[in-house]
Amino acid sequence: MRGLKISILLKTISLYILLLVFLFPFLVVILNTFKSTQQFVENPLSWPTQFNFSNYKTAFKDMDFITGFLNSSLITIVSVLIIIFFSSMTGYLFVRFKWKVNSILFFSMLASMTLPFQALMIPLVVIYGDLGILNSIATLLFMYLGFGVPFAVFTFHGFIKGVPLELEESASIDGSSRLRTFFQIVVPLLKPVMVTLIVLDTLWIWNDYLLPSLLLQSPNMRTLPLSNYGFFSTYSVDYSPLMAGLIMTIIPVLILYLILQKHIIKGITEGALK
């Protein structure tokens, strides 16, 4: 019995040590937001001599934080909504309609998940550049739809397979159309997996730098990750305001993650089991 208690204590201590290891870089970034750039360069690991919030004021102004926040919010919200909407319906179609073409399309989507974005970005930019539709938020939303749908369809597909078909048959007997049955009976049952995908896609799109940097060239279209790049000049980097900007950028999505984190593992686990 004593040996078991010691084992549990050692495991607990180990977990806390691992937690500190993972949190250490984040804590260092937070501490350096209160220093000057010179103090950061001299010793990044030192404790701030005083907690000065001027870096946050500088970052807020130089980043044009309000514009970046609105752009990031618009792009993230619209992208996540269209991914969830189309993916849920596509996953339902693949599960409930036993067409041969559905199997081909489903496995084609799964295969597309193995392609790295880095292998596609140059051809995409060249093609869309030739079409003259770069520097457009609509084009960016379209690309997020293309890259986000395969994983979402895969997740919905596994979850919908566990939804009892009898519920839909009962609704059909009562005169409900297929579309009405989907939105009023099936969709409410998909809440766990929807919340999971909302959190994961929000984290991905909100923090994405590479794709917006390839498409959005106008300053008034910049997202928050792009706005942070303004602290890099040709010969130097203004580190302290940069890190303050990074903290300001991740706070909104961090709050969302903390609120909904319990649904992530639940949704993925249920989708995999079903």
Summarize pLDDT for 126-182 with one digit per residue, the tens: 888 888 888 889 999 999 998 999 999 998 988 888 888 888 888 888 787 888 888
Locate all alpha helices (DSSP H) within 63-136, ordered by sequence.
Answer: 65-96, 100-112, 117-131
Domain CATH code at residue 90: 1.10.3720.10
- Report residue 114's pLDDT band, with 50, 70 and 90 as the boundaries: confident
Task: Please state the pTM of the whole predicted model.
Answer: 0.84
In a domain, 15, yes or no: no
Domains of the chain: total: 1
In a domain, 41, yes or no: no
- Banded model confidence at residue 83, pLDDT cuts 50, 70, 90: very high
Q: Would residue 123 count as lying in a domain?
A: yes
Decide: helix, strand or coil at residue 134: coil
The letter for the amino acid at 194 is M
Q: Is the pLDDT of residue 231 over 60?
A: yes
**Whose CA is closest to 124, among 134, 114, 115, 110?**
134
Query: Residue 121 falls within a domain, yes or no?
Result: yes
**pLDDT computed for residue 99 by the predictor:** 85
Task: Please answer whether residues 73 and 202 qualify as being in contact, where contact means their C-beta atoms are separated by less than 8 angstroms.
Answer: no
Structure confidence at residue 41 as a pLDDT band (50, 70, 90): confident
Using CA atoms, how far residue 199 sits from 23, 70, 164, in Å, is 20, 19, 26
Please determine, for residue 82, whether its predicted confidence score (pLDDT) is greater than 90: yes
Q: State which residues form the domain around 253.
A: 55-273
Q: Is residue 130 part of a domain?
A: yes
> CB neighbours (10 Å) of residue 66?
9
Q: Is residue 250 part of a domain?
A: yes
Please give the structure tokens belonging to residue 193.
Answer: 């997996």
260 alpha carbon, distance to own chain's centre: 13
- Dist CA 166 CA 195 (whole Å): 25
Residue 26 inside a domain? The answer is: no
Residue 221 has a CB neighbour count (10 Å cut-off) of 18
